[in-house]
Chains A and B, each alone.
Chain A
Amino acid sequence: MPVELTESDRAFLQGAHGDAAALAMRIVVEMAGVSGADRLIDVASAHVDGCLYHGLAGLEFAERLVAGGARVRVPTTLNVGYLDLLHPDRYRGDVGTVAKARRQMDLYVAMGCRPTWTCAPYQLPERPAFGQHVAWAESNAIVFCNSVLGARTDRYGDFIDVCAALTGRVPLAGLHRDEDRRARLVLRLEGVSERLLASDALYPVLGHLLGQEAGTEVAAIAGLPADTSEDRLKALGAAAASSGSIAMFHAVGITPEAPTLEVATAGEQVPEFVVPTERLRAARRELGTARDGRLGAVSVGTPHASLAELERLAALLGTAEPAVPFYVNIGRDVLAEAEERGPIATLRSAGVRIVSDTCTYISPVMDVADGPVMTDSAKWAWYAPANIGVDVVIGGLEDCVRSAIAGRVLLDETLWTDG
């Protein structure tokens, strides 16, 4: 099916806005063909993931865009890079990579993107409004944008993200369309204890299960507390976008497009899967690759920690000092706010190591004592073993702090008994 282009779209293709914008429009139009879109639509903003160095291809693409006069046409934020520009002394990796990774980050700033360097752009003041069309990359940001904000982005990856920013256009496909946003299956929690529902330990594990059950589909989750916080939905979505290709979910009675199950499914009959505590226990076992009590380090803040999470971490730590290296990943905007509001001083005096602009499982920044790394993030637990070669243990933030202070893994197993 041919893609219907406007006069303005055609002007882009013909080079009216320069070579980079022409290349970007060519890619947007080709992707419209791949996704079966019949036309393009405007986006209000973009979040770009392509600034993270993975090798020469991504760098050479950015070089070609800048050489072709690239300038973003909509407000554009940047995802994490390979380097922590605020704490460069933490870097433990290959020196040869630094210049290339830095160049790639600089090229995106040169195109007019805002150097936010965060995987949690929904924590920034300029986050999209309900119903707004945007072009976001970064799998956890995509799922948060669609599910929690009710703004609309398809599952964009590196390259198309900046092409959308340079043209202000995306294919009208996927989650930009009403019909693709309705739930195709339901996960119903049954017999899960009030204590587990009230614990942050549940949400990443549930997300992991969601990714495996739903794969690429939009699912509705029934049975979560009505006051489930954004941070818990963040943890859930990030996990689901790692173990599966989830780009949107509904939490019935919580997320904006699911006031009721009937609204979430648009009244259609869909398959329903019951999730008892036993399924959650199995998902939790699958996430941890470590099996003994030793502890080498702790890493929290994946996706980047919010101000509320930092305040909770500071309160849990109090004046205690971790016995193993303790890392927290924070976007630089939230870090600046948290410096003013207090929790950062507490964390620093406890010896917590702050990482910004990147993440501890992307960039080689961690010192790990003998033993596995404990995290409260299913996304971190999913990727870190392959990315940085560590074994992992997953627990709630409270477990992470208790374990760090004790210097060995302590998990509250009573949370996971049947309710």
Chain B
Amino acid sequence: MGPVLVLDEPLSFWGGVDPETGDVVDVRHPQRGANVVGRILVMPSGRGSSSSSSVLAEAIRAGTAPAAIVLGEADPILALGAIVARELYGKVTPVVVATDPSLRTGRVAKITATRETARIEA
């Protein structure tokens, strides 16, 4: 559960998020300067670097990750970061594919996910 942050463009975690602070640091991103810690991060898709798995896993380890990630299109690279963080640290961060117009920045949402389905309450 957490406050929703909707990104207008895809974000690469590597080069786009500082895993020490959770800040969006991609200088060309419209939400540069926003912070993803504890947010329900909603974005159209992943982007760019294949190192994003590591950066997401590191952010989950360090406690600077979003509470959940909701993607318009599946992104195995982000899913993998969450799977490895669960294997190593037992911390669960849902990465789900869904479009739900009630997910708007500032609202509080709750995501409950299993391997097959996700339930969004916003």
Contacts and interface: CB of A to CB of B under 8 A. Distances in A.
B53 interface: yes
A54 interface: yes
Interface of A: 23, 26-27, 30-31, 33-35, 49-50, 52, 54-58, 60-61, 64, 137-139, 142, 154-161, 174, 215-216, 241-245, 286, 289, 382-383, 385-387
Nearest to B12: A242
Given A55-B19, A57-B61, A242 B51 contact: no
Given A160-B80, A243-B48, A52 B54 contact: yes
Interface in B79-102: 79-81, 83-85, 87-89
B66 interface: no
B38 interface: no
A335 to B, nearest CB: 23
Given A156-B76, A158-B54, A159-B57, 4 more contacts: A30-B83, A55-B58, A56-B62, A242-B12
Nearest to A141: B50
B84 to A, nearest CB: 5
A61 B73 CA distance: 27
A56 B63 CA distance: 12
The 9 closest A-B pairs by CB, nearest first: A55-B58, A157-B53, A157-B77, A157-B50, A57-B57, A57-B58, A158-B54, A158-B53, A54-B54
Q: Determine which residue in B16, B19, B50 has the highest number of CB atoms from chain A within 10 A of its CB, and name it.
A: B50
A10 B48 CA distance: 33
5 contacts: A157-B53, A159-B83, A160-B80, A245-B75, A386-B26
Contacts of B77: 155-157
Interface of A is mostly: helix
Contacts of B28: 286, 382
A161 B27 CA distance: 29
Contacts of B89: 57
Contacts of A244: 10, 47-48
Nearest to A386: B25
Contacts of B54: 50, 52, 54-55, 57-58, 157-159
Contacts of B27: 289, 385-386
Contact of A387 (B15, B60, B85): B15
Interface in B23-78: 25-28, 45-55, 57-58, 60-62, 73-77
Contact of A155 (B15, B61, B76): B76
B50 A56 contact: no
Contact of B76 (A56, A139, A157, A241): A157
Nearest to B47: A245
B73 A139 contact: no
A50 B14 CA distance: 13
A56 B74 contact: no
Contact of B88 (A54, A61, A139, A382): A61
Contacts of A385: 27
A27 B10 contact: no
B51 to A, nearest CB: 6
Nearest to B15: A383
B85 A57 contact: yes
B10 A55 contact: no
A54 B51 contact: yes
Given A159-B84, A386-B26, A55 B51 contact: no
Contacts of B84: 27, 57, 61, 159
Contacts of A158: 50-51, 53-54, 57, 80-81
A12 B17 CA distance: 35
